């Protein structure tokens, strides 16, 4: 798959290749870890490594470095014309990030802990088994989490 990832809303655009949609998402996450700015998946679609190379040559005049290109009307038009543009998904991601930014760390930890405990209880045949999965005693599990 050919993908286009942009720094912010007007920053450089990476033209890349990944073997499938899941790999595109993984690549975005990996790049985001190393970036101090928000990265956005602009679009993706079918394509090969050869297609990626052709696109790099086609937009050579906009190349900044490696697989990163200056945004331009020509490049943006090409992306919109030939690839599935991801606007709705980016909006959902931004909304989720905003929601997380508004929560305190304590709230996030409580939600995560509750989900983990619920999973342990739901995948166990009894409280004793669930307690073992959680690394606590059955008495502690019942006292802290079942009665509340």
Q: What SS3 state is found at 59? A: coil
Distance CA 43, CA 88 (A): 11
Helix (H) or strand (E) holding 84: strand 84-85
For 6-20, the pLDDT digits (tens) are 999 889 999 999 999
Distance from C-alpha of 4 to C-alpha of 44, rounded to nearest angstrom: 6
Task: For residue 10, report the phi and psi dihedrals to the nearest 5 degrees.
Answer: -135, 10
CA nearest to 82, candidates 27, 112, 42, 49: 42
Is 146 within 8 Å of 127 (Cβ atoms)?
yes
Residue range 52-111, pLDDT digits in tens:
999 999 999 999 999 999 999 999 889 888 776 656 556 666 777 777 777 776 777 777
Confidence bin at 29 (pLDDT 50/70/90): very high
Is pLDDT above 70 for 139? Answer: yes
Q: What pLDDT, on the 0 to 100 scale, is given for residue 13?
A: 96
Q: Specify the pTM.
A: 0.57
* pLDDT, mean of residues 139-148: 72
pLDDT for 92: 66
The angle that helices 127-134 and 105-122 make with each other, rounded to 10 degrees, is 140
| Extents of the domains making up the chain | 2-96, 105-146
- Report the Cα 25 to chain-centroid distance in Å: 6
pLDDT the model gives residue 45: 85
Cα–Cα distance for residue pair 73/49, rounded to 1 Å: 24
| The pLDDT of residue 88 | 59
pLDDT at 109: 73
């Amino acid at each position: 798959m050919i993908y286009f990832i942009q720094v912010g809303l007007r920053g450089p655009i990476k033209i890349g290749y990944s073997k499938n949609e899941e790999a595109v998402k993984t690549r975005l996450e990996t790049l985001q870890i190393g970036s101090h700015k928000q990265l956005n998946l602009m679009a993706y679609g079918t394509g090969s490594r050869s297609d990626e190379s052709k696109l790099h040559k086609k937009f050579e005049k906009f190349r900044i470095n490696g697989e990163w290109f200056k945004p331009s009307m020509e490049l943006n038009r090409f992306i919109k014309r030939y690839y599935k543009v991801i606007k709705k998904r980016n909006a959902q991601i931004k909304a989720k990030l905003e929601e997380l930014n508004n929560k305190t760390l304590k709230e996030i930890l409580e939600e995560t802990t509750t989900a983990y405990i619920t999973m342990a209880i739901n995948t166990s045949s009894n409280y004793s088994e669930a307690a073992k999965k959680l690394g606590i005693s059955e008495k502690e599990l019942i006292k802290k989490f079942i009665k509340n």
